[in-house]
Amino acid sequence: MQLSDNQYSIQGVDPVELCRQYGSPLYVYDGGTIRRKVLELQEAFSGVKMKIKYACKANTNLAVLRLMRELGVELDVVSPGEFEMGRCVGYLGSQITFTPSGVPYPEVRTAVEAGATVNIDSLPLLEWFGQTYGSSKPCLIRLKPNVAAGGNIKIMTAHTDSKFGISVALLDNVLAIVEKYGIKVIGLHQHTGSDIKEAEPFLKAAGVIMEAALHFPDLEVIDMGGGFKVAYHPEDSLTDMHTLGQQITAGFKDFCARYGRELELWFEPGKFLVSESGYLLVTATVLKNDPARFFIHVDSGLNHLVRPMMYGSYHHILNVSNPGGEAKTYTVVGYICETDTFATDRPLPEVRPGDVLAFLNAGAYAFTMSSNYNARVRPAEVLIDHGQARLVRRRETLDDLLRTQEDL
């Protein structure tokens, strides 16, 4: 979002005008930002055979998926629903990896038979895979390297206590099952967690995976998952993707030399590709100047953006209706009958009832984690690309909420 002459705009489009046209609250995605992030990642890893598998749990709007496909990005999915959404926009099964977490085996069967590559995340699934397919279908194995990375335990996935993947401590068991059925393991996978800025945890996890990789002679891929940090707070320093790319590339090249073959390096970013592209536009409804705090209620809540309440995440807020207003301190809260505080004692240009506020970094894990709690409908979504705004999901209606009820 740009500010010029006291007026915010996204690719020249006025966000307040968007709310007038499509209603509030409203999710808006800037396609230009997604294009830029894809390019940044591709350039950072131009020294190796790198593939991006977008972790679409971050944002499954079909327009976003279509844009990813147009940009040559493939997909990582975690459910049959995500898989089918990928296919809706033209992805072939073979362009999709399925990275399940303890899902029922029939889900794995459907994905494999539609041509997807599965990341096997447990010994029982590996055994089932061997019994079912022998050596006839390729797979990746998701190892847990036992590396704690990033600062937030709720979004770490590779530490010892994490449920994800097969601990490297069980490598002998993995190898025994692989040998028993002749399973064709074409890749090893790990995902360290989310919001990781430094190269060090990636390199540490990569080191563990690459050591394990020497036991698998038929590898084509090392999949390093996602997790690149984005800036949520204006003072957050950005991941220097160029330097990170150089460091990881150097380590990977050394590994390939040891392995004796050049492998592909896959990443599965979610946040990095889409977080900054998204804005949740809301409208200030009731201003409550309580002796303890100055509350601003908005026409949204934890039903639309749960990250602040679920992880304590910071989302920067702009008053796009009154950028030049005098700074005041507000506590921004939702309309849900729960404590749904978006921001406590946050300085903002003076907010008046009816002002449109924008939550930044609302492109990842925002709409996809929304709900109908309090029987509230989900917002509409708009994509702005090449300077044109387009409705890419209509607002839900009461009919949508009632559609699955049997007792009407």
Query: Which among 204, 180, 140, 152 has a CA at the least distance from the CA of 310?
Result: 152
Q: How far is the CB of 368 from ligand LLP (least distance, A)?
A: 8
Whose Cβ is closer to ligand LLP: residue 96's or residue 348's? Answer: 96
Query: Which among 140, 144, 193, 192 has a CA at the least distance from the CA of 167?
Result: 144
**Which residues bind to ligand LLP, rule: CB under 6 A?**
55, 58, 76, 99, 155, 157, 191, 194, 225-228, 268-272, 307, 311, 364-365
Whose Cβ is closer to ligand LLP: residue 155's or residue 351's? Answer: 155
User: How far apart (Å, rounded) are the C-alpha atoms in residues 295 and 341?
Assistant: 10
Active site residue 337: yes
| Sequence-separated (6 or more) residues with CB below 8 Å from residue 217 | none
> 313 is written with which tokens?
């995440």
**With contact defined as beta carbons under 8 Å apart, do 306 and 370 qualify?**
yes
Q: How far is the CB of 186 from ligand LLP (least distance, A)?
A: 17
Q: How far is the CB of 143 from ligand LLP (least distance, A)?
A: 12
Give the DSSP per-residue string, 59-128.
---HHHHHHHHHTT-EEEESSHHHHHHHHHTT--GGGEEE--SS--HHHHHHHHHTTPEEEE-SHHHHHH
Q: How far is the CB of 315 from ligand LLP (least distance, A)?
A: 10
Q: How far is the CB of 110 from ligand LLP (least distance, A)?
A: 19
Q: How far is the CB of 324 from ligand LLP (least distance, A)?
A: 32
> 232 is written with which tokens?
């949520």
Whose Cβ is closer to ligand LLP: residue 13's or residue 158's? Answer: 158
H-type alpha helices, 105-237 = 105-113, 123-133, 171-181, 199-213
**With contact defined as beta carbons under 8 Å apart, do 211 and 203 qualify?**
no
| Sequence-separated (6 or more) residues with CB below 8 Å from residue 13 | 384, 387, 389
User: How far apart (Å, rounded) are the C-alpha atoms in residues 128 and 123?
Assistant: 9
| DSSP 8-state class, residue 168 | G
| Sequence-separated (6 or more) residues with CB below 8 Å from residue 250 | none
**Kind of pairing, strands 74-77 and 356-359?**
unpaired
User: How far apart (Å, rounded) are the C-alpha atoms in residues 197 and 341?
Assistant: 27
Whose Cβ is closer to ligand LLP: residue 227's or residue 278's? Answer: 227
Q: How far is the CB of 177 from ligand LLP (least distance, A)?
A: 21
Whose Cβ is closer to ligand LLP: residue 31's or residue 226's? Answer: 226
Whose Cβ is closer to ligand LLP: residue 228's or residue 255's? Answer: 228
Whose Cβ is closer to ligand LLP: residue 52's or residue 320's? Answer: 52
| Positions marked catalytic | 337
